[in-house]
Amino acid sequence: MNMKPFPHQVNEYHGKVRDVYYIDNQLLVMIASDRISAFDVILPNPIPFKGQVLNQIAAYMLGATRDICPNWLLDTPAPHVAIGKKCDPFKIEMVVRGNLVGHAWRTYQSGGRILCGVNLPEGMAENDFFPTPIITPSTKASEGHDEDIAKEEIIKTGLATAQDWAILEKYALALFQRGKEIAAKQGLILVDTKYEFGKIGDTIYLMDEIHTPDSSRYFYAEGFEQRQTNKEKQKQLSKEFVREWLIENNFMGKEGQTVPVMSTEWIDTISKRYIELYEQVIGEKFVPQKLSVEETYQAVCNALEKLS
């Protein structure tokens, strides 16, 4: 989305999925686009209403967790736009896992029993619950792939002090527990997720999106145990189905690989899956809204004026 500068805008950043505008170095305007990425690559086709889905789920979840920790969000002036406080970010992602799935399962399946300094129990099957949720942090890379990192390395390299780490750990586990409770009411299991934090002065804030299909994985609770017993694939709501489709079509973001062509039907399927997750997680009907660039710009300007 090509946006003319907002009042008092000092910088802008275009990420894989979101466009961020810096206002007076105090506020961020974050516009969630319909772009979709996987394996750190932006796929060639946008997914209708994906930005709205992500933004509205994140806003809902940030509102539902304010009692756990402060967060950055101040306003959502448009369905796909959030405005909040600019924080000095920790260059780590707090990945919380309740189940052995995804990257953790791939590590486990290859014989690894330590992930990010965390010991993984013997005798687990894919998708099994860990005895208690674990934190497996990763570095937040400005370019390329994020890398696994252990708590000790985070503190040793100064990515966070021991005191800050203790707060980050406490917040991440409490947020995950709240996310699981919200999901359970909707017949879902929050399987794993990631959180990003930053600081303003000495205060740590939760940043970015939380508990969305881009940052989290959900299983359907109904039939979970039976599927585990039968060693069947779990029914899930997340972006993982996009990754699986890419892998099936010989793409994992590696050098020399070509992104497969996305048909109109497949794009529509992805959009419907995102909307399904919204309705399952929030428990409300999704109301698609499409604003023009000018309407978006005006809504942001009006919100910034009120916040100034």
Average pLDDT over residues 258-274: 94
The long-range contacts involving 233-242, CB below 8 angstroms and separated by at least 24 positions, are 234/127, 236/191, 237/188, 237/213, 237/273, 237/276, 237/277, 237/280, 237/281, 238/191, 238/213, 238/277, 239/36, 239/38, 239/213, 239/214, 240/102, 241/273, 242/36, 242/38, 242/43, 242/270
Average pLDDT over residues 57-82: 98
Domain boundaries, the chain: 89-238
For position 237, what pLDDT does the model report?
81
Task: Decide if pLDDT at 302 tops 60.
Answer: yes
Task: Quickly tell me which residue has 């994020």 as its tokens.
Answer: 146
For position 247, what pLDDT does the model report?
92
Confidence of residue 144 (pLDDT cuts 50, 70, 90): low
Chain mean pLDDT for the chain? 94
| Model pTM score | 0.92
For position 142, what pLDDT does the model report?
60
Confidence of residue 114 (pLDDT cuts 50, 70, 90): very high
Confidence of residue 1 (pLDDT cuts 50, 70, 90): low
Task: Decide if pLDDT at 189 tops 70.
Answer: yes
For position 48, what pLDDT does the model report?
96
Average pLDDT over residues 120-126: 97
* CATH code of the domain occupying 89-238: 3.30.470.20
Task: Decide if pLDDT at 67 tops 90.
Answer: yes
For position 61, what pLDDT does the model report?
98
Average pLDDT over residues 43-64: 96
Q: Which residue did the predictor score with more confidence, 5 or 1?
A: 5
d(CA 195, CA 209) in angstroms, rounded, equals: 8
What are the pLDDT digits (tens) for 213-257?
889 999 999 999 999 999 999 998 878 889 889 999 999 989 899
Task: Decide if pLDDT at 141 tops 70.
Answer: no
d(CA 207, CA 51) in angstroms, rounded, equals: 17
